[in-house]
Structure 1
């Protein structure tokens, strides 16, 4: 992977640059890209039913089985992963922020403001989009947390993050879990926890087993109606199932399966912002062509929706892999970096 260096043509900042600590070369963590790509696929499945106005009931008035499956195994399962990864990315970025800008907090404020603008525009196509809430929480929660003394940063953000996550689960999940997961992710990214965790597969396996056991127990002791009525149950199971999935993927990335996972999902994850917005555009285009998916199957259009999602994923995997081969970064990712750091933050 190419290293990030200052632009030698930017002589106006040469004095400030010379005073900054040398920038550490950061290698991408392929496991995070893979997990992010998988999370994007799940989020797409969550977003498709509301965009197509698919009903939760079948013709007889009973709960549509595909809807029930989506609620139990997709809704509130992938969004927490994506939120945690956002915090991890911020933590990793903060470790080198002072070397990339003389005023790193201002640079990150620009970063989040740009994300908020994208969120506002995106909301016209997808009212339940996540970028605007992410931007707001990042500005209100993540940026102020950077003033915590470095010695106490990890302990403080992880402790406060755990409390806020518990509160978010109690409120039913959704955007309520963002602050807690952002802070937990900040602590994980700041301490380089992910690379260290990958060196301890036994602990990863134990975490996967425990989280899977809690999830299975939760389903065994409740039924679908109870999980829908008591949203905190569904939100809590979403966290444990998300943790189980993350640890399983991390373990698989230590096996020969890594090659396949990295080839399919890493390009999606590396272009997460471009693909997240691109998926909405493709879904909206599909809706414009055929707004009624219910005519294609006997499951209220959910099966046709899954086919559409699979098609979009294949398209984005191919386009992302080709784009990264020639350009190294996604189009919106490159623009986002430019807005954040200016020319000195661009790849050489």
Structure 2
């Protein structure tokens, strides 16, 4: 039995985090950092930046944001299963969770206009919470169908924030059912899915040119989704190889502290921008090379800090505060007592 299978079959009083999700989330967080850097520093297409800008648009922009949105929906589905067991008023607890995220996102907007936390909170309240009232018998089919419709509509309108509701609902359907664990235990099906999305992506790039993809937003948005799913599949398959020994210690700490690292990266970028407002003067490629080096340095620092922090505290600072707001101090104390009675499996990390 593989480590992933051991994790998936391990019984526990509270459902443990799935380490693969933390790793994929950490991987996506690195991509989000690359997405956020150019607009924060005003990097464009002047001078030798054209090729870097086109690469950024084709392989980075709108490629990692869907991963985060999809994982957010999955996380909500998993949390809903726990919330019903842990709280007599689970929807109120989750409403507090979204409210905290909205406040944090509103403050974050002051530093990074166009950030995702505030839209996530609003979509969670408007789309995810109402979906919990659908009867269990019909919920997964209903929200999956609605999620597909909303996702198609989001792509048709050019993608971006418009794909959030559809991805949230599809993620909720997967996280709130046993499908996630079934998928992770069947790498063959995961590989087939990745092959299909990769084929669609390649056809899309061969059949269009850069200007066509940028003018027709629905093409770029559709390719963003297929590339995002391909990235997810590649990471999941690599976790079945010896590469897991590298991916796990690198990306899992980032993923477990995703909220703290997301906000922390913005604070670091703002500080760097104050010290070096014009990155273009550091290289001949419009500042993209200097920006890439800054991102790599931030990621390395966050990997080290996250690893050390989790060894000492078990949760990131914002994650801990978010959890406290969601459940309250008394409920958290009871949950901690339950955790101390359990023996976690090899791939089990801290609880949601």
The answer to whether the superposition gives a TM-score over 0.5 is: yes
Please state how far the C-alpha of 1:58 moved relative to its aligned partner. 2.2
Equivalent position of 2:119 in the other structure = 133
Unaligned runs of 5+ in 1: 1-22
TM-score, structure 2 as length reference: 0.90
Is 2:271 the counterpart of 1:271? no
Aligned positions of 1:154-173 closer than 5 A: 154-173=140-159
Contact map agreement 1:92 1:192 (CA 8 A) in 2: no
Q: 1:281 aligns with which of 253, 267, 282?
A: 267
**Cα deviations by residue, 1:186-205 (Å, 9 ceiling, x for unpaired):** 00101132221122111111
**Cα deviations by residue, 1:160-182 (Å, 9 ceiling, x for unpaired):** 10110011011111100000000
Equivalent position of 2:235 in the other structure = 249
CA distance in 1, matches of 2:47, 2:254: 37
Equivalent position of 2:76 in the other structure = 90
Aligned length: 323
CA distance in 1, matches of 2:118, 2:188: 38
CA distance in 1, matches of 2:256, 2:13: 20
CA distance in 2, matches of 1:141, 1:106: 15
Q: 1:30 aligns with which of 19, 24, 30?
A: 19
Is 2:306 the counterpart of 1:320? yes
Aligned positions of 1:92-241 closer than 5 A: 92-241=78-227
Is 2:326 the counterpart of 1:337? no
Contact map agreement 2:47 2:284 (CA 8 A) in 1: no
CA distance in 2, matches of 1:322, 1:64: 39
**Cα deviations by residue, 1:288-326 (Å, 9 ceiling, x for unpaired):** 111000011111001110000000000000000000000
CA distance in 2, matches of 1:95, 1:250: 24
Contact map agreement 1:24 1:96 (CA 8 A) in 2: no
Equivalent position of 2:47 in the other structure = 59
Contact map agreement 1:279 1:312 (CA 8 A) in 2: yes
**Cα deviations by residue, 1:181-228 (Å, 9 ceiling, x for unpaired):** 000000010113222112211111111111000000000000100011
Structure 1 residue runs of 4 or more that deviate by more than 6 Å after TM superposition = none
Contact map agreement 1:87 1:181 (CA 8 A) in 2: yes
Equivalent position of 1:310 in the other structure = 296
Q: RMSD value over aligned CA atoms?
A: 1.2
TM-score, structure 1 as length reference: 0.91
Please state how far the C-alpha of 1:68 moved relative to its aligned partner. 0.5
Equivalent position of 1:68 in the other structure = 54
Contact map agreement 1:274 1:332 (CA 8 A) in 2: yes
Please state how far the C-alpha of 1:128 moved relative to its aligned partner. 1.2
CA distance in 2, matches of 1:25, 1:98: 11
**Worse overlay, 264-273 or 191-200:** 191-200
Please state how far the C-alpha of 1:59 moved relative to its aligned partner. 2.8
Secondary structure, counterpart of 2:158 in structure 1 = coil
